[in-house]
Chains A and B, each alone.
Chain A
Amino acid sequence: MQTSMKRAGRAAGALALLASLSAFSGPAPATTAYITNEKGNSISVIDLDKLEVTRTVKVGQRPRGIALTKDEALMFVCLGDDDTIAIIDTKTLKEVGELPSGPDPEQLRVSADGKFVFVANENDALLTAIDIATRKVVSEFPVGVEPEGVAVSPDDSIVVNTSETTSMAHLIDWRNKKVLANILVAPRPRYAEYNKDGSELWVTSEVGGTVSIIDPVKHVVAQKITFDVPGLAKELIQPVGIRFSSDGKLAFIAMGPANRVAVIDAATKQVLKYLLVGQRVWQLELTPDGKYLLTTNGVSNDVSVVDVAALKVIKSIPVGSFPWGVAISKQ
């Protein structure tokens, strides 16, 4: 039994190799999504014209957070169990270096100007800023226990970090390099995202089960969104990833083991709809044309594709084991 499984694995590897070879000889590449597979220790590459996986590449251990550089030449992948961030060339999909992350990196964010990447450093309760050109740490800011989510305001003026055990959003003045405010939110804040014009900062609390909408000028929680899915235990409502539609009118919230994405009217903050996706939905990303929303579904090992105009799930794409993060190239 074991031998035959090994053989099957080897055959699959050979097929993947063939697939990767053909990818090189094909026509100009379509828009591409990169999915980190937390347990599979790999990245699934999705062709967004065909909506299918064209390649799977091995990376280090426990890949989760993923981000592209502004020019899309490189991507950064947090490798939690290797205690590093791999730098991967998006053309060759080969590792070309690493960033100084500190232990167990999970999430990261590239500044809007493309010059810096911000990473939460769990062991030392610090938010670390790394200069992408020199690959060196340029600043650290003391934050709460178990720093996790990272967001950057659209104008790069404010960097945000959420700390899971401290249950705070830490707002950092990036120009003057100082902590501006530490705002208490519901337990285990896992992800932060500015709305399109930067007037609101949305923070999901995985254990609290809510979304806090922070006024980034007044430094207060201005509003709280709660969820109620009929027939679902309230403990299963665990909001994580956040994305806004291209026109900024809708917000999408990944709801973890509730297996749903909540669609929220960004103006009224009303929940419009719950979209049933795969199991344990972690992160979200929109295609550059704003047409599709991709969701990573950790337990069901697939990516759901949501048609944003119709607000319907139109496809599920099988990927590697325990998909977690997603990044999409513009070209």
Chain B
Amino acid sequence: MKFPIKLPTLFILVGMFIISLYLLIEVDYYSYSATISDSNDTPYVVIPSIGVNESINNKSIDYGVYYEPLSSLPGEGTVILFGHRTLHGSPFLNLNELQSGDNVYLEWPGIGNVEYTVSNTTIVDASYQIPLYQGNTLFLITCYPISSDTQRMIIGSKYDNTTPLQSTQSKPNSQSSDAFLIIAGLFGGGMLLSKFYPVKQDKILIVIATIALTVLLIYAYFFPVPTDGIESLLTNINNFFSL
């Protein structure tokens, strides 16, 4: 019996599908970012030394920088913020570059501009549970090493002072267009691949796959669903292959 798909074509199709799942997570993030409107009530975390200026949400770490609701408000106790280093907007991509003495600001409506100074960096296992009551301290927590979920990096910062918030810096969310760039990238890449793919009889398969996956991403943009299931699937596959 002749197998209907050439082996290299099968490799490419499977690879494209896996890549599209990662892209789907990112498209989903941008879609949610577009639907969660910023307002004057939105707090921000600003870290000038690594160029972070992100809104803070209390809905999910998948939507950017996430405030642990069981922690305290800035200036009143221990504040804990989470963020991804990869995917979901990668808000804490360069968190590892923070040095002792760097400043972190939380612009928090109703409280003020709360300034912290980075004091230490700690690497812990992913199962570590951080105590909530550690004084007037800010903890920024992200994955470690980058692109891995096996450990966590915790940046501890000491409270310095609180000054009045001059103005809330509500800014329009411009990230929704990034989703279309991702979708266009997948579509364009797939079409280019099909054009130059040397197995002529399988080109149509790559075209079909490209169109199907593009439609999948477009659907996910307009009808976003929580991607926990997809992330769990990818994590399990990663673990299965010990990647």
Asked if A and B are interacting partners, one says no
